[in-house]
Amino acid sequence: MSEHFFATHFGTYRVDQTSAGPSLSAWEGDPQPTPFGLHYLELAQHRCRVAQPMVRRGWLENNSQSIRGADTFIPMDWDRATRLVAHEIERIARVHGNRSIFAGSYGWASAGRFHHAQSQIKRLLNLAGGFTASRHSYSYGTAGAFLPHVLGQDYAGTNACAPSWDQIAHHTDCLVAFGLRLTNAQCDPGGVGRHTVEQWLTRALDRGMRLIVVSPDRADMPDHPNAEHLAIRPNTDTALMLACAYARIQNDTIDRKQIQRLTTGFDRLAAYVMGDSDGVPKTPAWAADVTGVNRSQIERFIEALRAPTSLLNLGWSLQRATAGEQPYWMAIALAAISGQIGRPGGGFAFGLGSVNSVGQPVRHLKTPGLDQGQNPVADFIPVAAIADLLANPGGTLEYNGRTLPLPDTRMVYWAGGNPFHHHQDLNRLRQAWQRPETIVVHEPVWTATAQHADIVLPSTLPFERNDIAVSSNDRTLVFNRATHAPYAEARDDHQICAMIAAHLRLADEFTEKRETDDWLAHLYAGYRERFPELPDYPTFRERGIHTLDAEQDAPRSTTLLADFAAAPEACPLATPSGRIELFSETIASFGYPDCPPHPSWIAPEEWLGGERAQTYPLHLLSPQPTNRLHSQLDAIGASQYDKVAGREAAVFSREDAEARGIEAGDTVKLFNERGACLVGARVSSTLLRGVVLLPTGAWYTPEDPTDPMTLELAGNPNTLTQDRRSSRLSQGSAAHSCLVEAVRRE
Ligand SMILES: Nc1nc2c(c(=O)[nH]1)N[C@H]1C(S)=C(S)[C@@H](COP(=O)(O)OP(=O)(O)OC[C@H]3O[C@@H](n4cnc5c(=O)[nH]c(N)nc54)[C@H](O)[C@@H]3O)O[C@H]1N2
Ligand SMILES: Nc1nc2c(c(=O)[nH]1)N[C@H]1C(S)=C(S)[C@@H](COP(=O)(O)OP(=O)(O)OC[C@H]3O[C@@H](n4cnc5c(=O)[nH]c(N)nc54)[C@H](O)[C@@H]3O)O[C@H]1N2
Ligand SMILES: [Mo]
């Protein structure tokens, strides 16, 4: 009998046929399965599903008074709805040009290489003349744009900027983790076979590695005798690292020759660190003032970094902030100053623990997905500039040394993402979102984004279709087998796009005359070309799962920058100097005050040490949710059980709660001048005073959708976050720089 598997971004599940229908259980090959995924099938018949194509009344009736998000929908049959979409693509492209169609369409959608919603609509629109695209991600947008200047192109946007876990388990003496939330390692775009991050970390700790978790919450620290916690004010890590550099330079415990060999610009950076260039020596006392960490702790921290092999790991969260380039740059600099570059298990790492894949010592299973074709339109935005794009048609945007034109967006086409969860300052987005003429969204469920669209086309969910899921960094391929018929009239994104393509007279170009199973066989043939040891397609389909190199513990061990460190002349980096740039002439030439040419401490506008904290004294961090993936599965299962007073739970420090008369279980209003939302209170004795945690992803629920400053009822942190980006250089999301105030609701 063939085995049935279900592949998700949070893990692989076995599908069991019970008398009550299909149900999910953990796959025994996964040492640490994700509990919340077990509830996935509750979406099969859930009332949040979109049952049939829907068109907004005001849009259909051309009523300019009607507002997106505050209107009713009219059900429509598939033929007419897809005809309308085709007509709009044709009309807008003809009248305004294809660059007036924005289909950057960011989002995680669901796992599975073929039914990848973004690829499907991009393939369709590329055939139809193209669209304005988006670059980079909310996850890693700042680092993705910035790191090439410092490390060379090879490290742009990849998730592979880390030594592998086996090296850490064997060699690292001291691992400093700036921001760590181990539940985040349960997820990975494309899927996960085996969750191994905690196993690897425990191996290293059991061997005697010291772990210092630097974060605002002691709860981020794993429970192990070799783990310790350093409480730091959000957004101030650069200052702590600058003090470490100061101590080393001051004591002259650095190998200048080695630093010169591997880097350029050290003298410029050293002049800043010592205060020669700006009059402010970055002493431990100075850093104590900025970070809120006391001096003796800073001294202890500096001492800890003298371990023979030290590794500085920065979570992706650190670059999702104002001047988010700086902690990354400073970590690279400090690793170089500490003589750790190219050392097995030493140096710097970005994103160990942010997802499962970073640091996995396996062969990269990078395999082809659906061919999206070529986009004839060159325009793009950095992904987090969506509201700027919509609000400033014909305007410009500074980005990475360029001035990008912002096309006059007439149509927005989104599939597989939820901007009304993921974008910052949702009240601003709500305003800007009113401008385009037509907004098309494919969604399986009635998210706020679907509710703010003109044409909503219901997609299937992955348990309603066959697909192949390939996890790029854990060597498992899964045949995801449909267990349910599509809900109501829902269709696969591919089928939807094929219908629209037919109306555009592009049917054969779009489908290449293949049915879904032909596509899966075609994609799989591509994987077998790269990995000839894979079984043939019928066997793979039958078995449902295949793991490459299954017998080996660490088939691909990585020392970051090993070749370069061994022979910098022979193996230069793809930077202008061929070395690690601690001072960048390129960045200097941009002249951006918010991204100076060497690592620097730049006080954000919103942080606990600034003037604004007098009015809004709480720093809001919006980490990833433990019990769902972003906004996905918020309506069901673990995410619902985790709510407090029916809303997303915000965590307050005991001191902050007491000062405001807030008790666990209370309903609390969080607010600033951008917006306000209601949350349920949790009270913590581990969280630093002055910090509030509100995970992302609660379904955005405006109390009065016609009110531009309406109260939000579910506890979505992006009601409050700022839409200013990390810097002009990267234009990355700066969600983690946000100040708020809280009051208890009677
Ligand atoms: N405040 C704050 N905001 C943040 C962050 C933060 O740290 N703080 N983090 C940011 C980060 S790193 C990210 S990656 C983003 C995540 O933002 P998103 O990726 O947009 O979030 P998801 O909830 O995963 O949205 C995916 C959507 O796709 C839909 N979907 C699922 N399967 C399919 C399918 O097969 N077809 C179609 N058409 N749709 C499907 C789901 O129902 C869901 O609505 O959020 C960002 N937002
Ligand atoms: N369960 C689950 N896992 C997920 C996701 C999910 O939705 N659910 N989403 C996935 C996605 S898309 C991404 S991009 C990754 C994101 O992974 P990350 O970017 O690493 O995650 P965050 O949750 O934003 O923040 C992680 C930790 O950073 C700390 N932190 C925040 N700001 C600072 C700071 O300024 N300094 C220091 N030292 N620490 C700070 C917080 O205490 C928090 O615990 O997670 C992925 N994993
Ligand atoms: Mo992300």
Per-residue pLDDT reduced to its tens digit, 114-131: 999 999 999 999 999 999
Q: What pLDDT, on a 0 to 100 scale, did the predictor assign at position 1?
A: 58
Give yes or no: residues 741 and 689 share one domain. yes
Which CATH number covers residue 243? 3.40.228.10
Q: What pLDDT, on a 0 to 100 scale, did the predictor assign at position 579?
A: 98
Percent residues over pLDDT 70 in the chain: 99
Per-residue pLDDT reduced to its tens digit, 480-517: 999 999 999 999 999 999 999 999 999 999 999 999 99
Give yes or no: residues 304 and 168 share one domain. yes
Report which residue type is found at 705.
P
- Reply yes or no on whether 108 is catalytic: yes
Of the pLDDT bands very low, low, confident and very high (cuts 50, 70, 90), residue 539 is: very high
* 709 burial level (CB within 10 Å; 0-12, 13-18, 19+): middle
Instruction: Give the residue, by CA position, lying nearest to ligand 2 atom 23.
Output: 623
| 653, β-bridge pairs | 684
Pocket of ligand 1 (CB under 6 A): 107-110, 115, 117, 138-139, 320, 415-418, 421-422, 442-445, 447, 459, 493, 622, 629-632, 696, 717-718, 721, 735
Give yes or no: residues 308 and 371 share one domain. no
CA 138 – ligand 1 centroid, Å: 10
Per-residue pLDDT reduced to its tens digit, 453-471: 999 999 999 999 999 998 7
Kindly state whether residue 709 falls inside one of the protein's structural domains. Answer: yes
In eight-state DSSP terms, residue 419 is H
CB 646 within 8 A of CB 680: yes
Kindly state whether residue 678 falls inside one of the protein's structural domains. Answer: yes
Per-residue pLDDT reduced to its tens digit, 219-232: 999 999 999 999 99
In eight-state DSSP terms, residue 536 is P
pLDDT-wise least confident of 366-375, 561-570, 608-617: 366-375
Q: How far is CA 314 from CA 49, 289, 327, in A?
A: 38, 22, 8
Contacts of 676 (CB under 8 A, 6+ apart): 669, 670, 709, 711, 712, 719, 720
CA 107 – ligand 3 centroid, Å: 9
Domain boundary (363, 388, 418) is at 363
Q: What pLDDT, on a 0 to 100 scale, did the predictor assign at position 156?
A: 47
Give yes or no: residues 120 and 259 share one domain. no
CA dihedral 187, 190, 192, 197 (to 10 degrees): -50
Instruction: Check if 135 has its Cβ closer than 6 Å to any atom of ligand 2.
Output: no
- Average pLDDT on 711-737 reads 98
Q: How far is CA 542 from the centre of its chain?
A: 34
Kindly state whether residue 564 falls inside one of the protein's structural domains. Answer: no
Domain boundary (340, 363, 386) is at 363
Domain boundary (363, 382, 406) is at 363
Residue with tokens 């609660």: 698
Give yes or no: residues 82 and 197 share one domain. no
Which residue from 119, 140, 696, 722 has its CB within 8 A of the most atoms of ligand 1, so it is best to mutate? 696
Assigned token pair, 613: 């904290």
The ligand 2 atom at the shortest distance from the C-alpha of residue 625 is: 8
Give yes or no: residues 340 and 387 share one domain. no
To which H or E segment does residue 13 belong?
Answer: strand 11-18
Give yes or no: residues 162 and 278 share one domain. yes
Residues 612, 606: Cα–Cα separation, whole Å: 7
Which CATH number covers residue 733? 2.40.40.20
Contacts of 703 (CB under 8 A, 6+ apart): 710, 711, 712, 713
Give yes or no: residues 348 and 449 share one domain. no
- Average pLDDT on 420-427 reads 98
CA 32 – ligand 3 centroid, Å: 21
Give the dihedral sign, CA 461/462/467/468: positive
Instruction: Check if 455 has its Cβ closer than 6 Å to any atom of ligand 2.
Output: no
In eight-state DSSP terms, residue 387 is H
Give yes or no: residues 195 and 240 share one domain. yes
Instruction: Give the residue, by CA position, lying nearest to ligand 2 atom 41.
Output: 179
Per-residue pLDDT reduced to its tens digit, 48-59: 999 999 999 999
User: Which residue in 27, 40, 59, 106 is the catalytic one?
Assistant: 106
Which CATH number covers residue 377? 3.40.50.740
Residues 389, 409: Cα–Cα separation, whole Å: 7
Give yes or no: residues 302 and 226 share one domain. yes
Instruction: Give the residue, by CA position, lying nearest to ligand 1 atom 33.
Output: 109
Higher-confidence residue of 285 and 369: namely: 285
Residues 642, 136: Cα–Cα separation, whole Å: 31
CA 124 – ligand 2 centroid, Å: 34
Residues 679, 51: Cα–Cα separation, whole Å: 30
Look at residue 160 and tell me whether its pLDDT is greater than 80: no
Give yes or no: residues 314 and 394 share one domain. no
Report which residue type is found at 739.
L
Per-residue pLDDT reduced to its tens digit, 547-577: 998 878 888 898 999 999 999 999 999 999 9
- Average pLDDT on 363-373 reads 86
Give yes or no: residues 388 and 248 share one domain. no
CB 627 within 8 A of CB 638: yes
Q: What pLDDT, on a 0 to 100 scale, did the predictor assign at position 179?
A: 98
Kindly state whether residue 731 falls inside one of the protein's structural domains. Answer: yes
Q: Note down the domain range covering 405.
A: 43-136+366-469+482-512
The ligand 2 atom at the shortest distance from the C-alpha of residue 353 is: 20
Kindly state whether residue 382 falls inside one of the protein's structural domains. Answer: yes
Kindly state whether residue 529 falls inside one of the protein's structural domains. Answer: no
**First-to-last C-alpha distance (Å) of the chain:** 59
Per-residue pLDDT reduced to its tens digit, 59-102: 999 999 999 999 999 999 999 999 999 999 999 999 999 999 99
Assigned token pair, 72: 């009713």
CA dihedral 645, 648, 653, 654 (to 10 degrees): 10
User: Which residue in 13, 40, 108, 140 is the catalytic one?
Assistant: 108
Kindly state whether residue 561 falls inside one of the protein's structural domains. Answer: no
- What is the residue-averaged pLDDT of the chain? 96
Task: Enumerate residues with CB within 5 Å of ligand 3 (an ion).
Answer: 139
Q: What pLDDT, on a 0 to 100 scale, did the predictor assign at position 155?
A: 61
Of the pLDDT bands very low, low, confident and very high (cuts 50, 70, 90), residue 473 is: confident
Of the pLDDT bands very low, low, confident and very high (cuts 50, 70, 90), residue 472 is: confident
Secondary structure E strands in 454-595 = 455-458, 467-470, 476-480, 545-547, 580-581
Residues 319, 335: Cα–Cα separation, whole Å: 18
Instruction: Check if 633 has its Cβ closer than 6 Å to any atom of ligand 2.
Output: no
Q: What pLDDT, on a 0 to 100 scale, did the predictor assign at position 326?
A: 98
Q: Which ligand is nearest to the Cα of residue 697, counting in written order?
A: 1
Q: How many structural domains does the chain have? A: 4
CB 544 within 8 A of CB 2: yes
Contacts of 273 (CB under 8 A, 6+ apart): 242, 245, 246, 249, 281, 282
Instruction: Check if 139 has its Cβ closer than 6 Å to any atom of ligand 2.
Output: yes
- Reply yes or no on whether 286 is catalytic: no
Kindly state whether residue 498 falls inside one of the protein's structural domains. Answer: yes
